[in-house]
Amino acid sequence: MSLARLALAFLATVPTVVLATAPAQWPLTGAVGPTTTTAAKRAVICNVLNYGGAIGSADIGPAILEAFTDCVLPAATATLYLPAGSYSMETWVTLNGANHWAFQMDGVITRTSTTGGHMIIIENATDFEMFSSTSAGAIQGDGYLCRNAGPRLLRTITCTNFSVHDIILVDSPEFHLIVQEGSNGEFYNLAIRGTNLGGSDGIDISGTNHWVHDVEVTNRDECVTVKNPATAFLIERIWCNQSGGSAIGSLADGTTISNIIYRNIYTNGGNQMFMIKSNLGSGYVENVLFQNFIGRGTAYGLDVNQYWESTPGTGAGVLLSNITFQNWDAEIVSDTRAPVQFICADGAPCQGMVLSNVNMYVESGTAVNYCESAYGTGSCLKASGTTSYAVITSTVTLPAGYTNPPTLAGDLASGFATDSSIPIPTIPSTYYPGLPQISPLAKNL
């Protein structure tokens, strides 16, 4: 069949996905996402079934790579198309260098090799979009068969003006989605299901001017975590549903992180609501706002720990400054862990830590917060200074009449076992109690 006829058949059956744009607000420095519409990228359709692939294929990897090399790369604009259906994959692919293209992944790809690396890498793409038009396309890692001994699922490397949305990532042997630097990215309408074990990171993201929203993560490690370097990130309406919790770090030497907002973050169960973690090191984290956090049943609440058990840096410590925590509400399950702790580097005391309307309690009613070498307002923070100081504490008591924060209907009671298959979920339409999703699911457009 000719490319023209393929395109006509494709367009007749696939809904249009609109071009996404960023909200015009700080900290984003400009528009995010693709610069041309999904419809424009359908000028050429590169269907993997026409490049050696087949539904039920034992290895769809070579067909994806051939469709990309022979069809996407030569075209001015194109869509690499994986139709609905089930596919196995044992050959990993790196799709490097194309501009003005989309990867429409409507099928379900299941890992069948234990080779390390990444199942799919998108590298140096400009004006790019990876999505499922049915909001049901997925990568099933079946990590229970090779726990911490196989590939990561998806990685983007130094891409510009791009998006990943309406796909599902399940049970990676290692991490699920890594965004390695790049700029002007948007990541939304994602469901990530990992196992109840460390090394199962949901989203690890670095770069410049990225917007992450409407994401659900289940695992026992990072939920949505900022990595170095990073500037101008807006991360909102995140549902850490039995997850390790979100974080900044781990940080070491040469840290440059600034102008970050996390807001409307809901954490059900798991390790902590949020953590900033490092071990000595150098550089800075500055101008950060953590706003509207709800937590239920987490082991820790707000945990700033600059003596975290990670490989130590060579500097005296990463300087944390001008960081505000506003409107936090949670009841922590552990009676022996601090709802709030700032354990800052003695060689680089924290400056300008602000707690505003932070209500963090424990089930037993009385808890102790810890502060070390940390300055600001609220809890046990010292008001001002530049020198280190030993741990001091403050006591918080559950007030009479306190009611637990609201929930979401899909809250999980526990995480997923490490030794059995994790089912592919449906992408939800709500990620924070009382707020609608920002962008409609592709299947509803």
- 5 sits in which H/E element: helix 3-13
Phi, psi at 86, each rounded to 5°: -105, 135
DSSP states along 175-235: -SEEEES-EEEEEEEEEEE--SSTT--SEEEEEEEEEEEEEEEESSS-SEEEEEEEEEEEE
Known catalytic residue: 204?
no
Question: CA 271: distance to chain centroid?
Answer: 16
Q: Which of 106, 201, 221, 303 is catalytic?
A: 221
Strands 366-372 and 392-397 come out as antiparallel
Q: For the stretch 239-261, what's the b/e string if a residue is b when 16 or more beta carbons lie within 10 angstroms of its beta carbon?
A: bbbbbbbbbbbbbbeebebbbbb
- 270 sits in which H/E element: strand 255-270
Token pair recorded at residue 356: 């505003």
Helical ranges in 58-203 per DSSP H: 61-67
Answer for the pair 220, 248: CB distance below 8 angstroms, yes or no.
no
CA dihedral 160, 215, 293, 348 (to 10 degrees): -40
Question: CA 385: distance to chain centroid?
Answer: 35
Q: Determine how many CB atoms are found less than 10 A away from the CB of residue 24.
A: 8
Q: Residue with structure tokens 């049915």?
A: 134
Give residues with Cβ within 8 angstroms of 239, minimum separation 6.
215, 216, 217, 266, 268, 408, 428, 431, 432
Answer for the pair 161, 129: CB distance below 8 angstroms, yes or no.
no
- 52/174 Cα distance (integer angstroms): 29
Residues identified as active-site: 221
